[in-house]
Copies of this chain bind each other. A is one copy, B any other.
Amino acid sequence: MRICRDAGMRLVGPNCLGIVNTAASLNASFLPGTPSAGRLGLMSQSGAVAAAVIDRAEGVGLGISSFASVGNKADVSGNDMLEFWEDDPATEVIALYLESFGNPRRFGRIARRVSGKKPVLVVKSGRGGAGDRAVRSHTAAAATPDAAVDALLRASGVIREDSVRDLLDTARLLVHQPLPKGGRVAIVGNSGGPQAMTADACEQRGLSVPELSPATRDALSAGLRAAAAVGNPVDVTADGEAAELAHAIRTVLADPDVDAVLVVYTPPFGSGPVATKEAIDAASRGSGKTVLACVLGDDGLIGSRVPSYAFPEQAVHALGRAVEYAAWRSRPADVVVEVPPVHALAAREIVESELRDHTQGGWLDYPAAARLLGAYGIRVAEAVPVGGREAACAAAARLGPPVALKATGPDLVHKSDVGGVRVNLDGVEEVGRAYQEMADRLGTAMTGALVQRMAADGVEMIVGGVAHETFGPLVMAGMGGVTAELLADRAFRVPPISDADAGRMLGELRCEPLLRGYRGRPVVNTEELRAQIAGVGRLMDDIPEVAELDLNPVIVTPAGAVAVDVRVRLAPAGPRPSPFLRRLR
């Protein structure tokens, strides 16, 4: 590396297979042969996986523009390759096999930019690994390394695949066909069973197989035999000739309510595979729409541009990914609301003052946490900190019952698990008794308590943030309550988070119907909830010293969203530069 740097050279590897650039007729690799020229840029951290992928790609007519086996990435990394392919006219689709991220935040920024121009597919091995068990907030515990990778890739528009088989299936659709404008699929074929399988797979994948219009059905019937089915799927029957299949393909492609056509051909019926493939190839030209085929048992390429898959689920998987990516590409640019500098400065002062007193950081007390969150527009329920039974009673009398009483103490984190929370206390004496009972039971762990007016009933959510050592800040939104926690109903994002991002996070939750008036419940104020999620994103992005943060629960009612318990832990900021400070300077 030193020699290369001094000489102004780049170094690939070590521990790699080398590089290939088919446009430059360069093969500086240990591969057994030279891959065919094509439009896929391929990078792999594992030489062995790369060799297998190239071998498979060759078999299905998928050529390579350039290939780099980067091995241990002493110099050239995935980020470098992305930047190279970004402007490489020979490369239309990018595929990465990753075992690790060197600089995930930089990867995220570059991948987001590149994904806006060309599809980026990633297989990241090593999905396992638990969250950090030493942390004590729900958010930090839930943010496993894989959740962080997923959030990073999702925010960047990257197409994440679980296996290289899936990656190849998706890549060859994206290389050969235009992006679909939507998810409305017409299925055309010669055999009912496999076409029904395909329709089922579409439904499961969230693609629609809509009824065709009367005009399209009439046009289909005009060119097909009487036994043909002209609904969707369109079945030309096993006797249907290649010309009939071509007529059906052209007709559904002309329907403005069809975004993509999936041809399911069962050989050797009709005119046989050779003539049928020629007909599929010819009929699919010039429409500008996405056409792909399942020729049962036959993974390959029809003509020079229609990918064929051996089994329906492969074709449907690839089409589903293409539809999702196209939707991501066509989204309007998100506007992330900025926090007024005066508020951000106030927040910074709170953090710096705390870290002056506690140089190693630690958990903020409730009032400090509430002030910090308030600077970012996050509403936190009023709470009166009290140091003893008398003060608790006085606070309850002032707030008016019913109230909640929550034990506080530097080591009391999961306080509800140890009986440190009492709710719905209806009178002042009840508060006094509850305080005494808690103090007797928790002993010196309890140094005081908070008295809060009971929140109105609503949907319990959790919103949180965690500063991941390598991935940077992550924001979580999830359903609250112990059941939802066990069921891990939560969504992660990398900030910045726009209002639309926050809405999409909520949309990913299986419990989301609860917010929309499920079974007679009221529709609640998701606008304020989205603002809280976006606010946490802004805060996590601005203040790297916030190590973990839970708003748990956030009670969402028709009137608004308010956090009734909060936990914020500060830690001295590491080397990660604060975007907030960058903005101020």
Residues of A with Cβ closer than 8 Å to B? 32, 45-49, 51-53, 55-56, 99, 125-128, 162-165, 191, 193-194, 196-197, 200, 203-204, 266-268, 296-298, 310-311, 313, 414, 417-419, 479, 481-484, 486-489, 510-511, 513-514, 518-520
Cβ contacts under 8 Å, A518 to chain B: 482, 486
Give the distance in Å from the alpha carbon of A479 to the alpha carbon of B49 in the complex: 43
A55 contacts across to B, CB distance below 8 A: 297
Residue of B nearest to A56 (CB): B297
Query: What are 29 A-B interface contacts by the 8 Å CB criterion?
Result: A45-B193, A47-B266, A48-B191, A48-B194, A49-B194, A51-B296, A52-B297, A52-B310, A56-B297, A99-B193, A125-B193, A125-B196, A126-B197, A127-B204, A128-B200, A128-B203, A162-B313, A165-B311, A414-B519, A417-B519, A479-B483, A482-B514, A482-B519, A483-B484, A483-B489, A484-B487, A486-B513, A486-B514, A487-B489
- Counting every copy of the chain, the complex holds 2
| A47 surroundings in chain B (CB, below 8 A) | 266
Contacts of A489 on B, CB cut-off 8 Å? 483, 487
Q: Which 9 pairs show the lowest CB-CB distances between chains A and B?
A: A52-B297, A48-B266, A417-B520, A46-B193, A125-B197, A128-B203, A48-B296, A128-B200, A52-B296
Chain B positions within 8 Å of A49 at CB level: 193-194, 197, 296, 311
Chain B residues within an 8 Å CB radius of A520: 417-419
Complex-state Cα separation, A225 to B513, whole angstroms: 60
Name the B residues within 8 Å of A53 (CB-CB). Answer: 297
CA distance A313 to B513 in the complex (A): 35
Task: For A128, list chain B residues within 8 Å (CB).
Answer: 200, 203-204
Contacts A484-B483, A520-B418 given; does A311 touch B52 at CB 8 Å: yes
Q: Which of B56, B127, B200, B511 contacts A487 (CB 8 A)?
A: B511
* Distance in angstroms between the alpha carbons of A128 and B203 in the assembled complex: 7
Nearest CB to that of A190 among chain B residues?
B48
Is there contact, CB below 8 Å, between A483 and B514?
A: yes
Tell me the bound Cα distance from A311 to B163 in angstroms. 8
Residue of B nearest to A126 (CB): B200
How far apart are A520's CB and chain B's nearest CB, in angstroms? Answer: 4
User: Closest B-chain residue to A265, C-beta based?
Assistant: B48
